[in-house]
Homo-oligomer: A and B are copies of this chain.
Amino acid sequence: MTDIATETVTKPATQPETVPGVREVPGLALTAALRAVVDGPYAGVRDRVRRTLTGPDFAYPEPGIGLAEHREQTMAKTRLLAAAGVGDRQHEDVGERIAAFKIVGLGDLSVMVKVGVQFGLFGGAIDRLGTAYHHERYLADVASVALPGCFAMSELGHGSDVKSLRTTATYDVEAREFVIDTPDENARKEWIGNAAVHGRAAVVFAQLETAGEGRGVHAFVVPIRDETGTPVPGVSITDCGPKMGLNGVDNGRLVFDHVRVPREALLDRYGQVAVDGAYSSPIESPGRRFFTTIGALVEGRVAVAAQAISVTEVGLTIATRYALRRRQFPTADGREQLLLDYTTHQRRLLPAIATTYGLEAAHAELVRRFAANLAEPTEGGQRTVESLAAGIKAYATWHNTETLDACRQCCGGKGYLWENRLPALLADSEIFQTFEGDNTVLAQLVVKGLLSGFAADFEDLDLVGLVKLVAGKAFNRLDPRTDHQALESDAGRLAAFQWREEHLVETLGQRMKKLVVDDHVDPAEALNRCMDHGLAAFTAHLERVILEAYQQYGGPEAPAVLGTLRALFALSALERGRAYFVEHGYLSAAQSRSVPGRVDALCRELRPYAASLVDGFGVPDELVAAPIAIR
């Protein structure tokens, strides 16, 4: 791998075989080069949050800590982070805020979620859905945690299907108040972070009714506890109880019994109710208004996607360092072999590392587009951001769960000990696949966008509209194509990924069109029948997006090892998905057969750099914390 050995990076021979007590300079140079790419324009804020999190107040909770104490510790740490400026929406740009949230994801994940609920969801809803009155009234108290709050969207009966929420907010003209009510058991707010203990207010999503007319889902700031911590009259709060992980977060259920809030409680950026009850909105179509409202909350997914990448990085750091220390079974020379010198071990860790760098690249691109679209919003820009956020969130959280399980297996029994952190990482992050949008539902949204060419709002699952678009669209019959260079170069691999995505989307469109137009199948059922095809299109799309971002990642100054990592990401994705390429003649059988050997070879090529590759993620030793991974 001579192209990696530039003056700034180490050669294989000088890279230490085991993790040294003190990092050697050549390894450090590569590590520093990788960290510069990963931290990118946000190195300052990331380092600041790293310093805060590695302070003595942020020690991980003891195993077996009780629920009550864990929740108090988590709240205390949330306040400390607030004091350090994390999550202050009035004094931080969005890129900085997400960079800070991402670093918080390297530590205790209960703290990460509590921070996310308070500043991201609660504060974010007030910020994005409210107007000047709400900003002035609330945002400083949100940032200081003087007002701990909740984001009360999900209901027992409706988690994924927000449009069908059943909590009501009825305007009472005479009192100039909204009446917030939970009509039945299924409509209770469920799974609400910060609700069981600490929350004093909640942004409640409810069906607005005014002047006798339903106006769809709107958000309201509703007090839920008084200053003594007692629930206010009409609000019943119960505790969701112990969970698999994230037990430092006090999830609860909220039931509203005709709770009255003033007219100003409506977060009225996209819909206003006048004193006399007249409704107005800058967005005429109710569907459009709903999806604009939901779309304004996309930051949550952008943040969770970043944090899933962080969690994966911690797991890979632990497992890789252990694999560079632990030996098992003697080799020919009588010495026992390091775990990372086993092909099976390399194949578990190195492609995962390569994919994680790719996700960093794609996420950096997402943040860039997100910030640009906030500065200068366009419809197309917003849809791209929503699709990217949903897609990267789903891909990154699936990757995270799979990778952490592999990391645990790679550490054997040691990986099962609480002290070695992987148990908490696994238990805490398992739910990432579900929260901020169930991954399967998100994948469907992304596919629907691809099918319609993003002609509809992103979250709009209105199938009649989708089917009209599909029916009116000419899906190309792509000519059979072969590419003899498909595996050999960045350009060839990207072309292959582009072809696969296009082919899957076009054939999905043809199938949908045939089912709906020719066979008169109900549109929802048609989409349902094709969803396996749809998930393949989702994966193809995301892997193309990641590879494209990867090819730009770090710019011309990037260390050459990123090129090898990028090739490994592409070839291991090709390896998983190669049946499709060979079935459709894009790859010859011989090309396809060569893919696993190419993955093996790239793993061997990257093996000498493994220590630096995980150090490049920049997880502070204090946060790694696992005794098996401490140098």
Which of A4-12, A239-247, A270-278 is near enough to bind chain B?
A239-247
Given contacts A423-B427, A579-B592, A583-B593, contact A532 B343 (CB under 8 A): yes
The yes or no answer to A517 lying at the interface (CB within 8 A) is no
Chain B proximity of A600: nearest CB distance (Å): 6
B328 & A158 in contact (Cβ 8 Å cutoff): yes
Chain B proximity of A607: nearest CB distance (Å): 12
The yes or no answer to A596 lying at the interface (CB within 8 A) is yes
Q: When each residue 545-584 of chain A gets 1 if its CB lies under 8 Å from chain B and 0 otherwise, what string results?
A: 0000000000000000000000000000000001100111
Which of A20-28, A121-129, A431-439, A616-624 is near enough to bind chain B?
A431-439
A596: chain B residues at CB < 8 Å are 532-533
B244 & A416 in contact (Cβ 8 Å cutoff): yes
Q: Which among A158, A408, A426, A430 has the highest number of chain B CB atoms within 10 Å? A: A430
- A585: which of B583, B585, B589 is its contact (CB, 8 Å)? B589
Chain B proximity of A421: nearest CB distance (Å): 10
Interface of A is mostly: helix
The yes or no answer to A141 lying at the interface (CB within 8 A) is no
A132: chain B residues at CB < 8 Å are none
The yes or no answer to A73 lying at the interface (CB within 8 A) is no
The yes or no answer to A232 lying at the interface (CB within 8 A) is no
The yes or no answer to A313 lying at the interface (CB within 8 A) is no
The yes or no answer to A67 lying at the interface (CB within 8 A) is yes
Given contacts A242-B64, A439-B409, contact A164 B330 (CB under 8 A): yes
Residue of B nearest to A599 (CB): B532
Q: How many residues of A contact B (CB 8 A)?
A: 78
Complexed CA–CA distance, A415 and B589 (Å): 42
Chain B proximity of A350: nearest CB distance (Å): 12
- A528: which of B343, B531, B532, B583 is its contact (CB, 8 Å)? B343
A242: chain B residues at CB < 8 Å are 63-64, 417-419
The yes or no answer to A373 lying at the interface (CB within 8 A) is no
Residue of B nearest to A522 (CB): B332
Q: When each residue 590-602 of chain A gets 1 if its CB lies under 8 Å from chain B and 0 otherwise, what string results?
A: 0011001001100
Complexed CA–CA distance, A164 and B63 (Å): 33
For chain A residues 199-254, which have a beta carbon within 8 Å of chain B? 240-245
The yes or no answer to A14 lying at the interface (CB within 8 A) is no
A328: chain B residues at CB < 8 Å are 158-161
A241 & B418 in contact (Cβ 8 Å cutoff): yes
A579: chain B residues at CB < 8 Å are 578-579, 582, 592
- A329: which of B161, B336, B344 is its contact (CB, 8 Å)? B161
The yes or no answer to A190 lying at the interface (CB within 8 A) is yes
Complexed CA–CA distance, A528 and B341 (Å): 9
A417 & B161 in contact (Cβ 8 Å cutoff): no
A336: chain B residues at CB < 8 Å are 161, 164
For chain A residues 377-435, which have a beta carbon within 8 Å of chain B? 401, 405, 408-409, 412-413, 415-419, 422-423, 426-427, 430-431, 433-435
For chain A residues 315-349, which have a beta carbon within 8 Å of chain B? 328-332, 336-337, 341-344, 347
A343 & B531 in contact (Cβ 8 Å cutoff): yes
Chain B proximity of A480: nearest CB distance (Å): 10
The yes or no answer to A82 lying at the interface (CB within 8 A) is no
B405 & A401 in contact (Cβ 8 Å cutoff): yes
Q: When each residue 523-542 of chain A gets 1 if its CB lies under 8 Å from chain B and 0 otherwise, what string results?
A: 11100111111010000000
For chain A residues 497-528, which have a beta carbon within 8 Å of chain B? 522-525, 528
- A417: which of B240, B438, B439 is its contact (CB, 8 Å)? B240
A461 & B332 in contact (Cβ 8 Å cutoff): no
- A535: which of B344, B430, B431 is its contact (CB, 8 Å)? B344
A330: chain B residues at CB < 8 Å are 161, 164
The yes or no answer to A66 lying at the interface (CB within 8 A) is yes
The yes or no answer to A191 lying at the interface (CB within 8 A) is yes
The yes or no answer to A440 lying at the interface (CB within 8 A) is yes
Residue of B nearest to A444 (CB): B344
Given contacts A434-B413, A522-B332, contact A347 B532 (CB under 8 A): yes
Q: Which among A408, A416, A417 has the highest number of chain B CB atoms within 10 Å? A: A416
Chain B proximity of A340: nearest CB distance (Å): 12
The yes or no answer to A110 lying at the interface (CB within 8 A) is no
B430 & A412 in contact (Cβ 8 Å cutoff): no
Chain B proximity of A343: nearest CB distance (Å): 4
A244 & B422 in contact (Cβ 8 Å cutoff): yes
The yes or no answer to A154 lying at the interface (CB within 8 A) is yes
A426 & B430 in contact (Cβ 8 Å cutoff): yes
A431: chain B residues at CB < 8 Å are 413, 416
Given contacts A433-B409, A435-B413, contact A344 B592 (CB under 8 A): no
Complexed CA–CA distance, A241 and B347 (Å): 31
Residue of B nearest to A409 (CB): B433
- A438: which of B412, B435, B440 is its contact (CB, 8 Å)? B412
- Can you list 27 residue pairs at the A/B interface with Cβ under 8 Å? A159-B328, A159-B412, A161-B329, A164-B329, A242-B418, A244-B408, A244-B416, A244-B423, A245-B423, A331-B522, A332-B524, A337-B524, A343-B528, A343-B529, A343-B532, A344-B444, A401-B405, A409-B440, A416-B434, A423-B427, A426-B426, A426-B427, A426-B430, A532-B600, A533-B596, A579-B579, A582-B583
The chain A residues found within 8 Å of chain B, CB to CB, are 63-64, 66-67, 154, 158-161, 164, 190-191, 240-245, 328-332, 336-337, 341-344, 347, 401, 405, 408-409, 412-413, 415-419, 422-423, 426-427, 430-431, 433-435, 438-440, 444, 461, 522-525, 528-533, 535, 578-579, 582-585, 589, 592-593, 596, 599-600
